[in-house]
Amino acid sequence: MESGIELVIKPEHTESFEKLFDFIYQGDPEAIRVSLELVRMLHVWDDLVDGDETSSSAINAAFSSALFEISSSWLWDEQAIAIARVQYFKWQAANYFEQLEEKPARRLCAIAYVYRAGFFDLFYYFAYKLYGMAWAEKIAPEIAEWYGESFSDYEHEMWGVKNG
């Protein structure tokens, strides 16, 4: 699979996402490509907001993904844009909670954590668009399980809360 995703995500995670997308999209190369581009772009976005080190080549690749690779796909229709727009608002809310000087209430931490996974909604939508409702319902738990960061790890990273 040719993708610049390796610029920002560890090879073992790239391989895992490729396996997930191959399964949920039943090998559809366009859906796999667009989803990998989306993962790459979101990873760089998160790094930039968090102030994590990221290379100019990774940033350029993420902008290329956003401007050309994702937007040029037949999968990126009005519904996908609407889903992405809602997830953008949720991402901004998560950023707000994460950037508070004091740790927010645990309920708000949990909301921010869930909102971070919101862009996975596009993977459900693409599976639905390709193969219909029955398939999307069947694989929904598989997609949900692939959100890799545990809540305790997220809480520890964002607010220094000790795990477990």
Interval 21-69: pLDDT, tens: 999 999 999 999 999 999 989 989 988 988 889 999 999 999 999 999 9
The two structure tokens encoding residue 8: 């920002």
Q: Is the pLDDT reported for residue 103 higher than 70?
A: yes
Q: What is the pLDDT of residues 110-120, one digit of tens each?
A: 999 999 889 99
Domain boundaries in the chain? 4-159
Tell me the chain's radius of gyration from C-alpha atoms: 16
> How high does pLDDT run on average in the chain?
87
Residue 3 has φ and ψ, to the nearest 5°, of: -165, 145
The model carries a pTM of 0.85
User: How far, CA to CA in Å, does 96 sit from each of 20, 115, 116?
Assistant: 30, 12, 12
